[in-house]
Structure 1
């Protein structure tokens, strides 16, 4: 490089102190000279743009004249002039008549890596937060085989913008799956493929809001995410209490709402299954007010002591919107689920889905359809059921060993249990303080809404933990609460 590769003249008053020498940045431009003649202009522009973005050329740095830089790089002056003009138009550079070309101040240098803000607890010794399956059970071989088959067979036109309801093949496969496994009344023409239950709730919220609905009933205790999901659609939520049979009818009638979200197969988080009488009463309520029951069948396939109870939607598909996903059976990162709505709401839901995202990714839909059609999805469910049943049994046994007298409530199903520890382990605030200090992440039942007063009540997720990790995690909680470790040595309070 010649001396033209250094700062020339006095920098403008706004220049930062001690800007880096641009000589290193000019070296980044050398590939432009080696590029094919037709690509040199684009290569030079890209190299200059990246040098500014990365901070190699800081705001206020004066660039060589087009003649000097062209001589240094061995390219035509016109090519450099064109690059300067293009980047000046984009805001990366600025040019003052008679004063040369400078790096502009509008571009903020960015780091080379994006941060991961996924909700993963770091630095913990045991994590009992519910809601996550064992991601190591994801059927990678079957998925890879399906991927090869789909890419070989999917017609070119299928890669265009899809039907917002979803690929016909997936809608058909999902309908057949739900009829067979969950007792749902499912017409493939009425299935909408969605990005999980969260999007299904948002879509329904938008449809209800457009119809003048301002409030939706939700179970209390229940999923804490529902409030923000419906709020994003402009709809408020009304917490409604439960009794031993499910959502209590009298408070529901008194609330004045005409739509309510329920988890009748396995209520979250209490773990109860709605009684048959209560299911009938809810349908009677919906018919009497021309209302809508929104059934979240989040883990309905996982029942360990008997066959799963069929979906509420199967009793009256014109009063129940039904939704589920593969988040518990395959992986939440796939963002694939389904929504069935009554005919009265269907076209509005499809239009909302279309304007929201123009439909789910085609390849992922085709892959899931293939897994279902070939029986791989049923095999995955059986594999998960065996693993999760064992883990639930392990957790119950570990709780009895380390916290004798603990009562585990709810049916033998799903991916979590509710555990009520004896009073001697309370109060709950002190219990939570000790186990948190020991590196154990656990949710008290109060985190999800109304709960019985007093005592220590925990909602413990187990599906994502191997049996050995479950036993170790419960032992860690016991050490923290009892004040001694497994060897009888004192632990920090």
Structure 2
């Protein structure tokens, strides 16, 4: 895709050898021809004005004008009054195009129940643009410097206040480190824990550990099995206590206390992924695990679900003994997250626009959840649906003996994207067939249309295994 540059476009890389045997104009002409033939300059792309190119290269304007005129006569360039000199479309060699991502093979995608993604259309564009404008307008010159590796003091102060009030976190600004989302947070924490002698990190099964090596621990209806964790010999564990991923269960109060006791007994740490705690519907709020043991729990948060993944902003609330090494590792990684974005997020939080956005999207996700439940109760009343108390995904339990993979494949042939849970198990070789139905980035209309498209499969899941698609 050719870029439509404003005006005459950016500068052009041309080198002039003033000590060479070839004349200056000939050098300029040769390099422009080569750039057009190689595809560095695309058809229709504007060249710098003769005045600008002459200034940049230290040449006379007349020499540049003569070179442009020669290339125009040869058919490489075109020009008309009042417009920039451009590369002739017929002279340009098209650059190799990147392959387009493959879509569904033969039919239009009816619905995609992809999980883990918020509604990208609900990203608060106007609010974010307002916050960035205000920051650029009012921030002092020092705000445009590198800043502290741990994050801008203003955002850390606002986050500490917000998390204390909303998530019952126990933290001061000095307990926080700002990072580039959950993936970097996990990387920083595991790096520091390894330096502390903790090389093995346990994680929930079913669950995910972002591709890092670890040891799985089973989850039941009360959350992580702490007794099984004790048998693993690990000294760190990653958990999602407010809304376990992917089952949706909440870590019970008794298990929370057992988990803290385990951490104290083995001089270990609990890594709390608080990934979608803002989105709860018909249950009482569940406070952060960190509030029970700030010295043993490392709490990770992000705005990827509440605002948009594109911002790549998150935070770590860590015990005091880990803050200095975390900051050193962060500094080595990237010298700190984008400073202006941090100030804009702080302003969103302070101004109340963040809370207003959460109320808006929470109401929309609740409506989608209701559509999902209502449609499933009509089309497949015998199939249990769980994990609905928070977040924006649900678990649909298929009858025993159903081929999860065949069901997903049959739905895909009808243009419906469904996703099984089997791949998220590490120790269970034949888990019960279940589907993860994400509704964060799936509209109410798409939910109804997608489930209706597989209605016969939902009524009789064995059809999927016999080619019913």
The TM-score normalised by the length of structure 2 is 0.77
Match of 1:240 among 195, 204, 217: 217
RMSD: 3.3
Q: Distance in 1 between matches of 2:258 and 2:436?
A: 28
Q: 1:379 to 1:240 in 2, by over 3 A?
A: same
Greater shift after overlay, 427-436 or 313-322? 427-436
In structure 2, relative to structure 1, the CA distance for the partners of 1:369 and 1:124 (3 Å cut) is same
Is the CA contact 2:302–2:313 (under 8 Å) kept in the aligned structure 1? yes
1:177 corresponding residue in structure 2:
162
In the other structure, the counterpart of 2:177 is 192
Bigger drift between 339-348 and 270-279 goes to 339-348
Equivalent residues of 1:427, 1:455 under 8 A apart = no
For residue 203 of structure 1, the aligned residue among 188, 193, 197 is: 188
For residue 270 of structure 1, report the CA deviation from its aligned partner: 0.5
**Alpha-carbon distance change, 135 to 46 in structure 1, aligned in 2, over 3 angstroms:** farther
The alignment covers a number of residue pairs equal to 397
Task: Give the distance between the partners of 1:120 and 1:166, measured in 2 at CA.
Answer: 40
Moved more, 198-207 or 414-423: 414-423
Query: 1:345 Cα deviation (Å)?
Result: 1.1
Q: Deviations over 1:420-460 (max 9, x none)?
A: 13458x23233222112112211112121156957531111
- Within a 5 Å distance, the mapping from 1:65-84 to structure 2 comes to 75=63
Match of 1:365 in 2: 342
- Among 455, 459, 463, the alignment partner of 1:478 is 455
| Structure 2: gaps (5+ residues) | 1-11, 17-23, 43-60, 68-92, 461-466
Structure number with bigger Rg: 1
Q: 1:163 aligns with which of 145, 148, 170?
A: 148
The answer as to 2:373 corresponding to 1:388 is no
Q: What is the aligned partner in structure 2 of residue 111 from structure 1? A: 95
Q: How far apart are the structure 1 equivalents of 2:173 and 2:27?
A: 49
Q: Deviations over 1:328-352 (max 9, x none)?
A: 1110011011111111211110111
Cα distance, 1:326–1:438 mapped onto 2, change above 3 Å: same
Query: Which sits farther off after the overlay, 430-439 or 347-356?
Result: 430-439
Q: Secondary structure at the match of 2:157?
A: helix
Post-superposition shift, 1:256? 0.5
Structure having greater relative contact order (Cα 8 Å, sep ≥ 6): 2
Residues 405 and 421 in structure 1, CA contact (< 8 A), matched pair in contact too: no
Q: Is the 8 A contact 1:431 1:456 kept in 2?
A: no
Give the unaligned 5+ runs of structure 1: 1-28, 34-38, 58-72, 80-108, 231-235, 484-490
> Do 2:160 and 2:173's aligned partners in 1 also have CA atoms closer than 8 Å?
yes
Q: Which of 435, 457, 460 is equivalent to 2:411?
A: 435
Structure 1 residues 182 and 113 mapped into 2: Cα distance closer, same or farther (>3 Å)? Answer: farther
